[in-house]
Amino acid sequence: MRTLNLVQFRKFADRQIEMANRMLAMHRPGSGYFCSCGKELPCSVAAHTIAIRDHFKRKLALLEATVVLPVLAPPAKVRPASLWRRLFGGWR
Exactly one of 4, 34, 37, 47 binds Zn ion (CB under 5 A); which one? 37
Inter-residue contact 47 to 27 (CB < 8 Å): no
- Residue closer to Zn ion, measured from CB, 24 or 60: 24
Question: Is residue 53 a contact point for Zn ion (CB under 5 A)?
Answer: no
Exactly one of 27, 49, 53, 56 binds Zn ion (CB under 5 A); which one? 27
Cis, bond preceding 70 (omega within 30 deg of 0): no
DSSP bridge partners of 34:
40
- Residue closer to Zn ion, measured from CB, 20 or 43: 43
DSSP bridge partners of 29:
35
